[in-house]
Structure formats: C-alpha cells, structure tokens
C-alpha cells in the first residue's frame, strides 16, 4: 500500500489532521480491508489502532465489494497481519476459504 | 338582436386570441371597476380587435415547441449510467474524474498505474485515508 500510494504521485494529509502531511511508509500506515490509512506520526497511528472501528468509517467488504460501516459485532478475520471486516458471517467464511485470492482487490490494471 | 349576438361572438373570439397570444396578468380590482363603468362591450370591442394579426405579434407569438419547453417536465429524468457511477468534469477535459456509488469523487483524474490513461468507472477504487483512487 505505501508503495502504491507513493507511485500514484498524490499527496495525502494525515487522517486525523488535514493540516499535516501524512508520511507515506509502512510504519505510518494501517490497513483494514482494502483501505489504507496514513498518519503524520506514530502517535496518530496508535490512536487509530486503539479503536479502528471508531475511526475507520466505511470499509469495502472483500467478498461482496460493497461499502459498509463495520461495528463491534461485524465478523472479522485476520490474514497476513491485516484485519478484514465483513458484512455478514457468510462473507467471512467465503473469504477464509480463499483468502489468498481475496486479500487484495485483484482487478486487472 | 342579431347584431348584438355578433358583437358577443367577436368579443369571445378576441378573448380567445388574446389567450393564444400568451399568458396575461390578472386584472387589478381598479381596472375591473373601470371596465364596469365603461360603455357596453359592443361599442368598445371593434376598436380593440385588429383586422389582422400584426407581423410583430406573429414573430413574438410562442410556438408549440416553446410552449412544450415552458411546461414542467413530466417524464422522469434518465439515469446517467446504469450502475450509478459516472464521470464528472475535471480540469483536464480528456480525463474526467469518477463519482462512485458512495458519492465520493476520485482523488485522481488519470490512472494511478498507467499515467495519463483515462479512469475506468467500472473498476472499483481503492481508498486511502477515506478518499477513492481510481484506476483504468
């Protein structure tokens, strides 16, 4: 994700503070589902990680590809260090059946 | 009696012509009072009914197309695209941004992978800091 964000050539502000530029590297990045969140410093990153459901907003379900707002009861799975939230339990089971295929958006570019 | 009936017909026809010429404002109460105090209608109608319609009036008379435009549209608006994702104008006309289903507009106006390529609205974006990045 940081590599892609750098290659896109776009500037991103800190997720919490739009006045500060985000640092685009793995140390300042948090991934949830297909979304990436970048922060200006590690303190902001840890603030996000302390309660991601409070701050993340809408996420993309990796199976149905729809945007939804996860809550504490949303099914979740962890794959290669990335937490994925799902709309329902069935999507979580489908993801775990083929996590390697669904872990990234995977569309042709 | 017969001439009086003719005057009434002329008055009715002149009213129909004035309606066809376009909408008119409602008469003020003072005007209505003035009309009621005037002489009987047959005496004044011939002076107000022109023999022929003036050329200027013909030029300004609304056509059927103009009347159709003035009427409120009864048909429902046609959707811009079948899936609700569509292009929006950006600074570069050749590479418009994409407005996605969640209402957000892509941060980039050309492909993030192939520089300069137009975005494909059918390719879902990825989100960085909550902002969509489009692809081609």
Q: Which domain holds residue A71?
A: 2-102
Q: Is residue A86 within 8 Å of A63, Cβ to Cβ?
A: yes
Put simply, whether B129 touches A (Cβ < 8 Å) is: yes
Reduced to 3 states (helix: H, G, I; strand: E, B; else coil), residue B22 is coil
Please judge whether A12 and B130 are an interchain contact, meaning their C-beta atoms are less than 8 angstroms apart: no
Average pLDDT per consecutive 10 residues, chain B (136 residues; last block may be shorter): 60 50 48 47 47 50 58 61 70 81 84 80 85 86
- Helices (H) and strands (E) in chain B — how many of each? 5, 4
> Residue A74's pLDDT band (boundaries 50, 70, 90)?
very high
pTM for this prediction:
0.60
- Strands B126-128 and A35-38 come out as parallel
ipTM: 0.84
Contacts of residue B127 in chain A, CB cutoff 8 Å? 34-36, 58, 60
Chain B residue closest to A24 (CA)? Answer: B128
pLDDT at B109: 83
| A80 in a structural domain | yes
Q: What is the pLDDT of residues B52-90, one digit of tens each?
A: 544 544 545 555 566 555 566 666 665 555 666 777 777
Distance set, CA B67 to CA A11, B22, B63 (Å): 52, 9, 6
Q: Is residue A107 part of a domain?
A: no
Say whether B109 sits in a helix, a strand or coil: coil
Q: How many C-beta neighbours within 10 Å does residue B39 have?
A: 7
CB B101 within 8 A of CB B85: yes
Q: Is residue A89 domain-resident?
A: yes
Question: How many domains does chain A fold into?
Answer: 1
Does residue A18 sit within a domain? yes
Phi-psi region of A78 (alpha: psi -120 to 50; beta: other; left: phi over 0): beta
Average pLDDT, chain A: 88
* A109 touches B at CB < 8 Å: yes
Q: Is A29 in CB contact (< 8 Å) with chain B? A: no
Residue B110 near residue A18 (C-beta atoms within 8 A): no
A72 close to B (CB below 8 A):
no
């Amino acid at each position: 994700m940081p590599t892609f964000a750098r290659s896109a050539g776009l500037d991103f502000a800190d997720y919490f503070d739009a006045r500060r530029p985000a640092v685009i590297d793995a140390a300042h990045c948090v991934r949830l589902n297909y979304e990436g969140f970048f922060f200006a410093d590690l303190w902001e990153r840890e603030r996000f990680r302390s309660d991601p459901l409070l701050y993340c907003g809408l996420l993309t379900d990796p199976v149905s590809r729809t945007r939804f707002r996860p809550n504490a009861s949303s099914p979740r799975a962890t794959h290669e260090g990335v937490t994925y939230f799902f709309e329902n339990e069935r999507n979580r089971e489908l993801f775990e059946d083929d996590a390697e295929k669904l872990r990234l958006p995977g569309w042709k570019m | 009696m017969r001439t009086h009936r003719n005057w009434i017909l002329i008055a009715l026809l002149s009213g129909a012509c004035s309606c066809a010429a376009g909408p008119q404002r409602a008469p003020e109460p003072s005007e209505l009072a003035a009309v009621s105090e005037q002489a009987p209608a047959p005496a004044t109608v011939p002076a107000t009914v022109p023999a022929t319609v003036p050329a200027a009036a013909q030029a300004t008379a609304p056509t059927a197309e103009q009347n159709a435009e003035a009427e409120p549209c009864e048909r429902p608006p046609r959707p811009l695209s079948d899936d609700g994702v569509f292009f929006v104008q950006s600074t570069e006309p050749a590479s418009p941004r994409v407005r996605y289903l969640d209402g957000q507009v892509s941060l980039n106006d050309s492909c993030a992978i192939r520089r300069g390529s137009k975005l494909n609205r059918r390719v879902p974006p990825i989100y960085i800091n909550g902002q969509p990045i489009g692809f081609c």
